[in-house]
Structure 1
Protein backbone atom coordinates (compact mmCIF):
# COMPACT_ATOMS: atom_id res chain seq x y z
CA UNK A 1 0.00 0.00 0.00
CA UNK A 2 2.75 2.46 0.94
CA UNK A 3 4.64 1.77 -2.30
CA UNK A 4 1.54 2.33 -4.44
CA UNK A 5 0.82 5.61 -2.67
CA UNK A 6 4.37 6.84 -3.24
CA UNK A 7 4.17 5.86 -6.92
CA UNK A 8 0.87 7.66 -7.43
CA UNK A 9 1.94 10.90 -5.72
CA UNK A 10 5.55 11.18 -6.92
CA UNK A 11 4.81 14.39 -8.79
CA UNK A 12 3.78 16.12 -5.55
CA UNK A 13 6.83 15.13 -3.49
CA UNK A 14 10.03 17.14 -3.43
CA UNK A 15 12.17 15.04 -5.73
CA UNK A 16 15.35 16.02 -7.62
CA UNK A 17 14.01 14.22 -10.72
CA UNK A 18 10.69 16.09 -10.67
CA UNK A 19 10.60 18.78 -13.31
CA UNK A 20 8.44 21.87 -13.49
CA UNK A 21 6.36 20.21 -16.24
CA UNK A 22 5.59 17.27 -13.93
CA UNK A 23 4.13 19.56 -11.28
CA UNK A 24 2.17 21.55 -13.89
CA UNK A 25 0.76 18.32 -15.30
CA UNK A 26 -0.35 17.15 -11.85
CA UNK A 27 -2.11 20.46 -11.18
CA UNK A 28 -3.67 20.37 -14.66
CA UNK A 29 -5.21 16.96 -13.95
CA UNK A 30 -6.64 18.13 -10.61
CA UNK A 31 -8.04 21.34 -12.10
CA UNK A 32 -9.53 19.56 -15.13
CA UNK A 33 -11.33 17.00 -12.95
CA UNK A 34 -12.63 19.70 -10.60
CA UNK A 35 -13.90 21.87 -13.46
CA UNK A 36 -15.45 18.84 -15.18
CA UNK A 37 -17.32 17.82 -12.03
CA UNK A 38 -18.43 21.22 -10.77
CA UNK A 39 -18.88 22.87 -14.16
CA UNK A 40 -20.72 19.87 -15.57
CA UNK A 41 -23.21 19.98 -12.72
CA UNK A 42 -23.69 23.74 -13.15
CA UNK A 43 -24.12 23.52 -16.93
CA UNK A 44 -26.53 20.59 -16.59
CA UNK A 45 -28.62 22.38 -13.95
CA UNK A 46 -28.76 25.57 -16.03
CA UNK A 47 -29.80 23.60 -19.12
CA UNK A 48 -32.51 21.72 -17.21
CA UNK A 49 -33.86 24.97 -15.76
CA UNK A 50 -33.92 26.69 -19.16
CA UNK A 51 -35.58 23.71 -20.87
CA UNK A 52 -38.21 23.39 -18.12
CA UNK A 53 -38.99 27.10 -18.48
CA UNK A 54 -39.31 26.78 -22.25
CA UNK A 55 -41.67 23.82 -21.99
CA UNK A 56 -43.76 25.54 -19.31
CA UNK A 57 -44.03 28.57 -21.59
CA UNK A 58 -45.19 26.36 -24.44
CA UNK A 59 -47.86 24.75 -22.24
CA UNK A 60 -49.08 28.19 -21.14
CA UNK A 61 -49.14 29.70 -24.65
CA UNK A 62 -50.56 26.83 -26.70
CA UNK A 63 -54.24 25.89 -26.67
CA UNK A 64 -56.18 22.89 -27.96
CA UNK A 65 -58.80 23.82 -30.56
CA UNK A 66 -61.53 21.66 -32.08
CA UNK A 67 -61.45 21.64 -35.89
CA UNK A 68 -63.45 19.90 -38.63
CA UNK A 69 -61.77 17.73 -41.24
CA UNK A 70 -62.54 18.98 -44.79
CA UNK A 71 -61.80 15.76 -46.69
CA UNK A 72 -61.28 12.04 -46.26
CA UNK A 73 -57.78 11.12 -45.13
CA UNK A 74 -56.24 8.02 -46.69
CA UNK A 75 -55.00 5.24 -44.46
CA UNK A 76 -51.29 4.59 -44.21
CA UNK A 77 -49.60 2.90 -47.14
CA UNK A 78 -47.81 0.46 -44.84
CA UNK A 79 -51.13 -0.75 -43.48
CA UNK A 80 -49.99 -0.63 -39.87
CA UNK A 81 -53.32 0.83 -38.79
CA UNK A 82 -51.73 2.51 -35.77
CA UNK A 83 -53.59 5.41 -34.18
CA UNK A 84 -50.27 7.29 -34.18
CA UNK A 85 -49.96 7.35 -37.99
CA UNK A 86 -50.40 10.92 -39.21
CA UNK A 87 -51.26 12.30 -42.63
CA UNK A 88 -51.45 15.93 -43.81
CA UNK A 89 -55.03 17.14 -44.41
CA UNK A 90 -57.05 20.37 -44.50
CA UNK A 91 -59.07 21.38 -41.44
CA UNK A 92 -61.30 24.33 -40.56
CA UNK A 93 -61.96 25.97 -37.19
CA UNK A 94 -63.32 29.19 -35.78
CA UNK A 95 -60.81 31.30 -33.89
CA UNK A 96 -61.59 32.93 -30.53
CA UNK A 97 -62.37 36.23 -32.30
CA UNK A 98 -64.86 34.59 -34.70
CA UNK A 99 -62.50 34.31 -37.69
CA UNK A 100 -62.93 31.10 -39.67
CA UNK A 101 -59.54 29.61 -40.49
CA UNK A 102 -58.50 26.82 -42.82
CA UNK A 103 -55.09 25.20 -42.74
CA UNK A 104 -53.27 22.02 -43.73
CA UNK A 105 -52.03 20.07 -40.71
CA UNK A 106 -51.28 16.55 -39.49
CA UNK A 107 -54.29 14.39 -38.54
CA UNK A 108 -54.83 10.71 -37.73
CA UNK A 109 -54.69 8.50 -40.83
CA UNK A 110 -58.00 7.08 -42.02
CA UNK A 111 -60.20 9.92 -40.66
CA UNK A 112 -63.38 10.83 -42.60
CA UNK A 113 -64.77 14.15 -43.82
CA UNK A 114 -66.55 16.10 -41.08
CA UNK A 115 -64.83 14.37 -38.18
CA UNK A 116 -63.73 16.57 -35.29
CA UNK A 117 -59.98 16.70 -34.73
CA UNK A 118 -57.93 18.50 -32.12
CA UNK A 119 -55.24 20.93 -33.27
CA UNK A 120 -53.02 23.21 -31.23
CA UNK A 121 -52.65 26.97 -31.77
CA UNK A 122 -50.46 29.62 -30.23
CA UNK A 123 -51.43 33.11 -29.07
CA UNK A 124 -51.41 34.44 -32.66
CA UNK A 125 -53.68 31.68 -33.93
CA UNK A 126 -50.94 29.83 -35.82
CA UNK A 127 -51.07 26.03 -35.79
CA UNK A 128 -48.26 24.59 -33.70
CA UNK A 129 -47.20 21.22 -32.32
CA UNK A 130 -48.79 19.92 -29.14
CA UNK A 131 -46.71 21.02 -26.14
CA UNK A 132 -45.10 18.28 -24.07
CA UNK A 133 -46.93 17.35 -20.88
CA UNK A 134 -45.15 17.77 -17.55
CA UNK A 135 -43.72 14.26 -17.51
CA UNK A 136 -42.40 14.38 -21.08
CA UNK A 137 -41.01 17.88 -20.44
CA UNK A 138 -39.20 16.69 -17.30
CA UNK A 139 -37.69 13.71 -19.11
CA UNK A 140 -36.59 15.84 -22.07
CA UNK A 141 -35.15 18.52 -19.77
CA UNK A 142 -33.24 15.82 -17.89
CA UNK A 143 -31.84 14.34 -21.09
CA UNK A 144 -30.80 17.77 -22.31
CA UNK A 145 -29.14 18.45 -18.96
CA UNK A 146 -27.17 15.19 -19.04
CA UNK A 147 -26.15 15.79 -22.67
CA UNK A 148 -24.97 19.33 -22.01
CA UNK A 149 -23.06 18.25 -18.89
CA UNK A 150 -21.25 15.54 -20.86
CA UNK A 151 -20.53 17.95 -23.71
CA UNK A 152 -19.06 20.46 -21.27
CA UNK A 153 -17.00 17.75 -19.58
CA UNK A 154 -15.75 16.59 -22.99
CA UNK A 155 -14.64 20.10 -23.92
CA UNK A 156 -12.82 20.56 -20.61
CA UNK A 157 -11.20 17.12 -20.91
CA UNK A 158 -10.08 17.98 -24.45
CA UNK A 159 -8.58 21.28 -23.28
CA UNK A 160 -6.76 19.42 -20.49
CA UNK A 161 -5.45 16.88 -22.99
CA UNK A 162 -4.07 19.69 -25.16
CA UNK A 163 -2.32 21.24 -22.14
CA UNK A 164 -0.84 17.86 -21.17
CA UNK A 165 0.30 17.26 -24.77
CA UNK A 166 2.08 20.63 -24.77
CA UNK A 167 3.75 19.79 -21.46
CA UNK A 168 4.91 16.45 -22.91
CA UNK A 169 6.38 18.26 -25.91
CA UNK A 170 8.28 20.63 -23.60
CA UNK A 171 9.50 17.68 -21.51
CA UNK A 172 10.71 15.79 -24.63
CA UNK A 173 12.48 18.90 -25.95
CA UNK A 174 14.29 19.36 -22.64
CA UNK A 175 15.31 15.69 -22.61
CA UNK A 176 16.69 16.06 -26.15
CA UNK A 177 18.71 19.16 -25.20
CA UNK A 178 20.04 17.54 -22.03
CA UNK A 179 20.88 14.37 -23.96
CA UNK A 180 22.89 16.37 -26.47
CA UNK A 181 24.81 18.04 -23.65
CA UNK A 182 25.42 14.83 -21.74
CA UNK A 183 26.15 12.65 -24.77
CA UNK A 184 29.82 13.59 -25.17
CA UNK A 185 30.39 12.94 -21.46
CA UNK A 186 29.36 9.33 -21.75
CA UNK A 187 32.58 8.40 -23.39
CA UNK A 188 33.20 5.83 -26.10
CA UNK A 189 30.13 4.71 -28.04
CA UNK A 190 29.78 1.24 -29.41
CA UNK A 191 28.58 0.47 -32.83
Structure 2
Protein backbone atom coordinates (compact mmCIF):
# COMPACT_ATOMS: atom_id res chain seq x y z
CA UNK A 1 0.00 0.00 0.00
CA UNK A 2 1.32 3.44 -0.94
CA UNK A 3 1.59 6.00 1.89
CA UNK A 4 -1.10 8.71 1.80
CA UNK A 5 1.38 11.53 1.19
CA UNK A 6 2.33 9.91 -2.14
CA UNK A 7 -1.24 10.11 -3.47
CA UNK A 8 -0.20 12.24 -6.46
CA UNK A 9 2.09 9.45 -7.68
CA UNK A 10 -0.45 6.64 -7.43
CA UNK A 11 -2.50 5.63 -10.44
CA UNK A 12 -6.15 6.31 -9.78
CA UNK A 13 -9.14 7.42 -11.84
CA UNK A 14 -9.42 10.90 -10.27
CA UNK A 15 -5.75 11.82 -10.65
CA UNK A 16 -5.33 14.61 -13.15
CA UNK A 17 -2.37 15.75 -15.15
CA UNK A 18 -2.10 18.80 -12.88
CA UNK A 19 -1.70 16.46 -9.88
CA UNK A 20 1.33 14.84 -11.49
CA UNK A 21 2.77 18.23 -12.43
CA UNK A 22 2.28 19.41 -8.86
CA UNK A 23 3.99 16.28 -7.52
CA UNK A 24 7.02 16.98 -9.70
CA UNK A 25 7.04 20.64 -8.72
CA UNK A 26 6.93 19.75 -5.02
CA UNK A 27 9.80 17.28 -5.46
CA UNK A 28 11.92 19.74 -7.42
CA UNK A 29 11.21 22.62 -5.03
CA UNK A 30 12.21 20.55 -1.99
CA UNK A 31 15.39 19.40 -3.74
CA UNK A 32 16.26 22.97 -4.75
CA UNK A 33 15.41 24.31 -1.30
CA UNK A 34 17.62 21.76 0.45
CA UNK A 35 20.51 21.68 -2.01
CA UNK A 36 20.32 25.40 -2.80
CA UNK A 37 20.25 26.27 0.89
CA UNK A 38 23.27 24.10 1.62
CA UNK A 39 25.15 25.42 -1.41
CA UNK A 40 24.34 29.05 -0.55
CA UNK A 41 25.44 28.46 3.05
CA UNK A 42 28.76 26.95 1.95
CA UNK A 43 29.39 29.76 -0.55
CA UNK A 44 28.54 32.40 2.08
CA UNK A 45 30.83 30.76 4.64
CA UNK A 46 33.69 30.59 2.13
CA UNK A 47 33.10 34.20 1.11
CA UNK A 48 33.16 35.34 4.73
CA UNK A 49 36.33 33.35 5.37
CA UNK A 50 37.97 34.89 2.28
CA UNK A 51 36.94 38.41 3.32
CA UNK A 52 38.34 37.88 6.82
CA UNK A 53 41.58 36.49 5.37
CA UNK A 54 41.87 39.51 3.05
CA UNK A 55 41.37 41.84 6.00
CA UNK A 56 44.06 40.01 7.98
CA UNK A 57 46.41 40.52 5.02
CA UNK A 58 45.77 44.30 4.96
CA UNK A 59 46.35 45.07 8.64
CA UNK A 60 49.31 44.41 10.88
CA UNK A 61 50.15 44.63 14.57
CA UNK A 62 52.33 47.46 15.83
CA UNK A 63 53.90 47.95 19.24
CA UNK A 64 52.64 51.24 20.68
CA UNK A 65 53.27 53.27 23.86
CA UNK A 66 50.56 54.80 26.03
CA UNK A 67 50.90 58.62 26.02
CA UNK A 68 48.74 59.34 29.06
CA UNK A 69 47.34 57.52 32.04
CA UNK A 70 44.24 55.56 31.14
CA UNK A 71 41.08 56.43 32.99
CA UNK A 72 40.70 54.43 36.17
CA UNK A 73 37.10 53.43 35.40
CA UNK A 74 35.16 53.25 32.19
CA UNK A 75 32.59 56.00 31.68
CA UNK A 76 29.03 55.23 32.73
CA UNK A 77 26.95 53.83 29.91
CA UNK A 78 30.06 52.76 27.95
CA UNK A 79 28.20 49.72 26.64
CA UNK A 80 29.64 46.27 26.31
CA UNK A 81 33.27 47.00 25.45
CA UNK A 82 34.81 44.65 28.03
CA UNK A 83 35.34 47.64 30.32
CA UNK A 84 37.96 49.25 28.07
CA UNK A 85 38.48 53.01 27.68
CA UNK A 86 39.93 55.26 24.99
CA UNK A 87 43.52 56.44 25.50
CA UNK A 88 46.14 58.27 23.41
CA UNK A 89 48.94 56.09 22.04
CA UNK A 90 51.96 56.61 19.76
CA UNK A 91 53.99 54.28 17.61
CA UNK A 92 56.70 54.38 15.00
CA UNK A 93 55.63 53.22 11.56
CA UNK A 94 57.67 51.17 9.10
CA UNK A 95 58.74 54.42 7.41
CA UNK A 96 60.23 55.72 10.69
CA UNK A 97 57.52 58.36 11.20
CA UNK A 98 55.88 58.72 14.60
CA UNK A 99 52.11 58.25 14.51
CA UNK A 100 49.53 59.09 17.16
CA UNK A 101 46.01 57.87 17.68
CA UNK A 102 43.40 56.62 20.12
CA UNK A 103 43.12 53.00 21.14
CA UNK A 104 40.85 51.04 23.46
CA UNK A 105 42.72 49.77 26.51
CA UNK A 106 41.85 48.46 29.93
CA UNK A 107 41.48 51.18 32.61
CA UNK A 108 44.31 52.08 34.93
CA UNK A 109 47.29 51.43 32.63
CA UNK A 110 50.14 53.83 33.47
CA UNK A 111 51.78 56.19 30.98
CA UNK A 112 54.52 54.56 28.81
CA UNK A 113 52.85 51.15 29.02
CA UNK A 114 53.43 49.03 25.92
CA UNK A 115 50.51 47.62 24.01
CA UNK A 116 49.79 46.20 20.59
CA UNK A 117 47.56 48.09 18.18
CA UNK A 118 46.51 47.11 14.68
CA UNK A 119 47.04 49.52 11.79
CA UNK A 120 46.10 49.53 8.13
CA UNK A 121 48.40 50.44 5.24
CA UNK A 122 47.77 54.15 5.74
CA UNK A 123 48.87 53.98 9.39
CA UNK A 124 45.40 54.39 10.93
CA UNK A 125 44.48 52.35 13.98
CA UNK A 126 41.87 49.71 13.16
CA UNK A 127 40.23 46.95 15.16
CA UNK A 128 42.07 43.65 15.41
CA UNK A 129 41.08 41.24 12.65
CA UNK A 130 39.21 38.07 13.47
CA UNK A 131 41.46 35.05 13.38
CA UNK A 132 41.46 31.42 14.42
CA UNK A 133 38.34 30.34 16.24
CA UNK A 134 36.62 33.72 15.93
CA UNK A 135 37.03 33.78 12.13
CA UNK A 136 35.83 30.19 11.85
CA UNK A 137 32.82 30.95 14.04
CA UNK A 138 31.91 34.01 11.94
CA UNK A 139 32.16 32.02 8.71
CA UNK A 140 30.11 29.13 10.10
CA UNK A 141 27.44 31.44 11.53
CA UNK A 142 27.18 33.31 8.23
CA UNK A 143 26.68 30.05 6.36
CA UNK A 144 24.21 28.82 8.99
CA UNK A 145 22.13 31.99 8.60
CA UNK A 146 22.24 32.14 4.81
CA UNK A 147 21.35 28.47 4.24
CA UNK A 148 17.87 28.43 5.81
CA UNK A 149 17.02 31.87 4.41
CA UNK A 150 17.86 30.68 0.89
CA UNK A 151 15.97 27.43 1.38
CA UNK A 152 12.94 29.30 2.72
CA UNK A 153 13.01 31.70 -0.23
CA UNK A 154 13.02 28.81 -2.71
CA UNK A 155 10.27 27.06 -0.73
CA UNK A 156 8.15 30.25 -0.74
CA UNK A 157 8.55 30.47 -4.52
CA UNK A 158 7.36 26.88 -4.75
CA UNK A 159 4.33 27.67 -2.60
CA UNK A 160 3.47 30.52 -4.96
CA UNK A 161 3.68 28.19 -7.96
CA UNK A 162 1.54 25.59 -6.19
CA UNK A 163 -1.11 28.18 -5.27
CA UNK A 164 -1.37 29.19 -8.93
CA UNK A 165 -1.71 25.54 -9.92
CA UNK A 166 -4.45 25.13 -7.32
CA UNK A 167 -6.35 28.10 -8.75
CA UNK A 168 -6.02 26.65 -12.22
CA UNK A 169 -7.18 23.22 -11.02
CA UNK A 170 -10.20 24.75 -9.27
CA UNK A 171 -11.08 26.63 -12.45
CA UNK A 172 -10.85 23.36 -14.43
CA UNK A 173 -13.11 21.63 -11.90
CA UNK A 174 -15.57 24.52 -12.08
CA UNK A 175 -15.70 24.27 -15.88
CA UNK A 176 -16.14 20.51 -15.71
CA UNK A 177 -18.90 20.84 -13.12
CA UNK A 178 -20.70 23.35 -15.34
CA UNK A 179 -20.66 20.72 -18.07
CA UNK A 180 -21.52 17.67 -15.94
CA UNK A 181 -23.71 19.27 -13.25
CA UNK A 182 -26.86 19.55 -15.42
CA UNK A 183 -26.59 15.86 -16.34
CA UNK A 184 -26.57 14.93 -12.64
CA UNK A 185 -29.59 17.08 -11.99
CA UNK A 186 -31.43 15.29 -14.82
CA UNK A 187 -30.45 11.89 -13.41
CA UNK A 188 -31.66 12.80 -9.93
CA UNK A 189 -35.00 13.97 -11.22
CA UNK A 190 -34.30 17.70 -11.15
CA UNK A 191 -33.61 17.85 -7.42
CA UNK A 192 -30.64 19.84 -6.12
TM-score by length of 2: 0.84
Distance change in 2, residues 1:60/1:89 (3 Å): same
SS at 1:149 equivalent: helix
Residue 110 of structure 1 deviates from its aligned partner by 3.2
Match in the other structure for 1:36: 33
Q: How does 1:89-100 map to 2 (within 5 A)?
A: 89-100=87-98
Q: How does 1:15-30 map to 2 (within 5 A)?
A: 15-30=12-27
SS at 1:92 equivalent: strand
SS at 1:123 equivalent: coil
- 2:144 corresponds, among 134, 146, 167, to 146
RMSD of equivalent CA atoms: 2.4
Distance change in 2, residues 1:62/1:148 (3 Å): same
Query: How many residues are paired up?
Result: 186
Residue 70 of structure 1 deviates from its aligned partner by 2.5
Distance change in 2, residues 1:83/1:189 (3 Å): closer
SS at 2:86 equivalent: strand
Segments of 5+ residues of structure 2 without an aligned counterpart are none
- Contact kept, 8 Å, 1:83 with 1:108, in 2: the verdict is no
Residue 40 of structure 1 deviates from its aligned partner by 2.1
Distance change in 2, residues 1:49/1:164 (3 Å): same
- 1:161 corresponds, among 156, 159, 162, to 159
- Contact kept, 8 Å, 2:90 with 2:99, in 1: the verdict is yes
Match in the other structure for 2:122: 124
- 2:135 corresponds, among 134, 137, 157, to 137
